[in-house]
Amino acid sequence: MRSLITILAAGLLATLPVAAESFDHSGFDLVLSTYVNALGQVDYASLKANRSGLDAYVAALGETSPKSHPKRFPTRKDKLAYWINAYNALVLRGVIDAYPVKSVKDIKYFMGFFNRTWSTVGGESYTLNNIEHDVLRAEFKEPRIHAAINCASVGCPRLEPTAFFADGIDDQLEAVMRKFLNESRNVTIEASRKRVTLSKILDWFGSDFTNWYESKLNVDDARILDYVALYVEGERAAGLDRTWEVRFHDYDWSLNDQAGPQEMP
């Protein structure tokens, strides 16, 4: 009788659906922790010389994505973590393929690094612009992604020395946005002039930060400051008067290379 019960139980277990294995970001996490410093700068020379870890992760991206294997990405958080990491990994791969360079703008003219460099993701071809605009912005409508993805430039939010993971991604996104908007280089408050000068990212993607997904022309400066005020802390928060003039910094496209300046503005 016991053997019959065992056989029946084994047969029942065999018919139960098996949960798909989640996508593994640990390899990319190791790459970041090894080659990215606290300032978000990358040791591109060393990464290029020791690229096997990054190449293995990019190869995994090429085979599997939330679109090609949806069962491996059952939640919105799984998908969001994947696409953020995919963007950052493909940027790093693109830079070391061309390194040494002083800027991603030098890799292919007319912003070709972003719109004419193709990578395989889940068996399909994507540019970085495809991932940023057609996937991350269009599908998730999550403004905090702009503090999480990094275009290998000094003007970007700092590249985190860790990957993004589904478990805890909300906390990660909150932390990077708070860090980004509390850096004076991204939110410069001049009370004596009644002026606030913001990162160009808040200009380029203004509609994302105000939850208006129509034309950027519909976004006014006061609503941008409303979003910024959610994160700016301490005495600086008093400098976000809605009536003050809003300007935007020029974007610094210099490569975020550890071989370059060692102090972020």
Please provide the DSSP assignment of 14-61 as one string.
Answer: HHSPPPPPPP--HHHHHHHHHHB-TTS-B-HHHHHHT-HHHHHHHHHH
pTM for the full model? Answer: 0.89
pLDDT at 50 over 60: yes
Closest CA to 219 of 232, 210, 227, 228: 210
Give the count of beta carbons closer than 10 Å to the beta carbon of residue 249: 18
Token duo for residue 41: 């700068």
Percent of the chain exceeding pLDDT 90 equals 77
pLDDT attached to residue 223: 83
Determine contact, residues 163/29, Cβ cutoff 8 Å: yes
Section 13-39 average pLDDT: 84
Tokens 């018919």 appear where? 15
Give residues with Cβ within 8 angstroms of 222, minimum separation 6.
242, 243
Give the count of beta carbons closer than 10 Å to the beta carbon of residue 37: 14
- pLDDT digits 0-9 by tens, 196-248: 999 999 999 999 998 643 444 445 677 888 899 999 998 888 768 888 899 99
- pLDDT digits 0-9 by tens, 54-80: 999 999 999 999 999 999 999 999 999
Sign of CA dihedral 128, 133, 136, 142: positive
β-pairing verdict for 195-198 and 187-190: antiparallel
Section 175-187 average pLDDT: 97
Token duo for residue 57: 């992760």
Determine contact, residues 161/142, Cβ cutoff 8 Å: no
* 45-49, 95-99, 225-229: range with lowest mean pLDDT: 225-229
pLDDT attached to residue 216: 43
Q: How far apart, in whole angstroms, are the C-alpha atoms of residue 222 and residue 220?
A: 6
Q: How far apart, in whole angstroms, are the C-alpha atoms of residue 22 and residue 31?
A: 19
Determine contact, residues 64/78, Cβ cutoff 8 Å: no
Q: How far is CA 204 from CA 16, 26, 30, 160, in A?
A: 49, 32, 32, 22
132-135: list long-range contacts, CB under 8 Å, 24+ apart. 132/87, 135/83
Widest pairwise Cα distance in the chain = 88
Q: What is the CA radius of gyration of the chain?
A: 21
Cis check for the bond before 157: say yes or no (omega within 30 of 0). Answer: no
